[in-house]
């Protein structure tokens, strides 16, 4: 089987959904599984619904706006009496019904039950449209196949159960399913982390022993830098799994960090291609004699710098490190860069769940701390060290780290 993943930008409106069918026509619509994200900015809009709900504000108006947008997309794809309109209404009624009866104060739990509906609706529209134009497919609820623990918003996959369920699929037919979501033992929805649809595609690819996996983006492939942030960037046509994992870890937005590991384990080639021009080769990630190691630039924004030091000038010892990282794990705060000296530790942190203040308060009971919010982590992979000075131009550098071929700096 082939696994194709289409992100939100590729299904943002009726014309985009039609374009998905053109991409499939160019690739051959047979023995494939499509993983589809929520349409356009729907995830952000549903996040706003959850925020309004917890503020006890008028979230129903926001739900109605999102529903109207999806109905308008469907009106550009289907005749007016098509059954898909009743399906769309039903999904949005389910969101409203869940929020009306919910008694859980757990923000992350509520978030997963509501925000996941974006993927459910988009896949139903795409699946029905493809069937309408004779691209025969079966719609799947990914929650019946990807099983996780109950770590809401950061689900940990139960690979044994997941592989058991997915391996029952018929490899001779085509499927349309959701990215980003799974379910726990109680069949509550659990999301796999923001931008987790690529990871979903990799899970299906792994469990189905797929021939290849392709993600379709609005860029030509993996570039040496985000063209929206850097000039004079070029396409990387072949890179290794290891290079892709490093780039994803440092913040390259075109690849989700968890995606590569399952693919690498079974040596499944991974392509990043353009849905604007599907005939172009794009980028191949995998084992190859032609893998490139070009100088590449990655900017990871919305980071925080936390400086920690002992109060009595004693060493930052192993027990201190254990305590600090225990708190980081507790608050689900990820370390993007770390640098330590004898009496201090500097951490560049990604605070997705907004727990930095609580972490800081906890650490201040024992340490001196200084928190600097809204910094950026700038990384240069395969850096040409003889021209290193140019990386520092027009930057206020708060922290830097240089290894054999990688330059990293935290900047304001």
Identify the CA nearest to 3 among candidates 283, 253, 215, 281.
215
Give, for all 412 residues of the chain, the pLDDT tens digit. Answer: 999 999 999 999 999 999 999 999 999 889 999 999 999 999 999 999 999 999 999 999 999 999 999 999 999 999 999 999 999 999 999 999 999 999 999 999 999 999 999 999 999 999 999 999 999 999 999 999 999 999 999 999 999 999 999 999 999 999 999 999 999 999 999 999 877 899 999 999 999 999 999 999 988 999 999 888 888 899 999 999 988 888 888 888 778 778 999 999 999 999 999 999 999 999 999 987 777 889 999 999 999 999 999 988 888 888 899 999 999 999 999 999 999 988 899 999 999 889 999 999 999 999 999 999 999 999 999 998 888 888 888 889 999 999 888 999 999 8
Identify the CA nearest to 126 among candidates 141, 137, 112.
137
The pTM is what?
Answer: 0.89
Identify the CA nearest to 129 among candidates 66, 74, 91.
74
**Residue 310 near residue 367 (C-beta atoms within 8 A):** yes
**Residue 273 near residue 280 (C-beta atoms within 8 A):** yes
State the distance between the two ends of the chain, measured CA to CA, in whole angstroms: 46
Write down all domains in the chain, each with its CATH number in brackets: 2-217 (3.40.1160.10), 296-411 (3.30.2130.10)
Q: How far apart are CA 175 and CA 324, in angstroms?
A: 45
**Residue 291 near residue 242 (C-beta atoms within 8 A):** no
Identify the CA nearest to 342 among candidates 323, 364, 317, 372.
317
Identify the CA nearest to 197 among candidates 5, 1, 2.
5
**Residue 169 near residue 175 (C-beta atoms within 8 A):** yes
């Amino acid at each position: 089987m082939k696994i194709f993943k289409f992100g939100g930008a590729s299904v943002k409106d009726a014309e985009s959904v039609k374009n998905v069918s053109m991409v499939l026509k160019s690739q051959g619509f047979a023995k494939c599984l499509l993983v589809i994200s929520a349409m356009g900015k729907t995830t952000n809009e549903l996040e706003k619904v959850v925020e309004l709900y917890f503020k006890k504000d008028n979230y129903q108006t926001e739900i109605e706006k999102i529903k109207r947008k999806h109905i308008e997309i469907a009106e550009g794809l289907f005749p007016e009496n098509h059954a898909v309109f009743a399906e769309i209404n039903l999904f949005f009624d389910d969101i409203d019904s869940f929020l009306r009866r919910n008694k859980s104060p757990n923000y992350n739990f509520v978030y997963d039950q509501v925000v996941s509906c974006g993927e459910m609706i988009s896949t139903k529209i795409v699946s029905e449209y493809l069937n309408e134009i004779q691209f025969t497919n079966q719609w799947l609820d990914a929650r019946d196949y990807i099983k996780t623990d109950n770590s809401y918003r950061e689900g940990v996959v139960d690979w044994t159960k997941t592989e058991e369920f997915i391996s029952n699929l018929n490899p001779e037919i085509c499927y349309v399913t959701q990215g980003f979501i799974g379910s726990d033992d109680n069949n509550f929805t659990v999301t796999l982390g923001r931008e987790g649809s690529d990871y979903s595609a990799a899970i299906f690819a792994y469990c189905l022993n797929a021939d290849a996996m392709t993600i379709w983006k609005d860029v030509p492939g993996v570039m040496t830098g985000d063209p929206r942030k850097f000039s004079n960037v070029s396409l990387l046509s072949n890179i290794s799994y290891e290079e892709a994992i490093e780039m994803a870890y440092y913040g390259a937005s075109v690849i989700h960090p968890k995606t590569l590991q399952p693919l690498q384990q079974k040596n499944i080639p991974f392509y990043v291609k353009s849905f604007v021009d599907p005939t172009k080769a794009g980028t191949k990630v995998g084992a190859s004699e032609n893998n490139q190691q070009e100088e590449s630039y990655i900017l990871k924004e919305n980071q925080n710098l936390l400086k920690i030091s002992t109060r009595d000038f004693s060493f930052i010892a192993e027990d201190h490190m254990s305590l600090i990282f225990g708190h980081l794990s507790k608050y689900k705060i990820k370390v993007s860069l770390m640098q330590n000296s004898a009496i201090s530790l500097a951490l560049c942190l990604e605070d997705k769940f907004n727990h930095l203040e609580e972490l800081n308060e906890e650490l201040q009971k024992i340490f001196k701390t200084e928190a600097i919010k809204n910094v950026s982590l700038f990384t240069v992979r395969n850096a040409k060290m003889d021209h290193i000075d140019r990386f520092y131009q027009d930057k206020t550098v708060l922290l830097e780290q240089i290894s054999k071929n990688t330059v990293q700096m935290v900047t304001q």
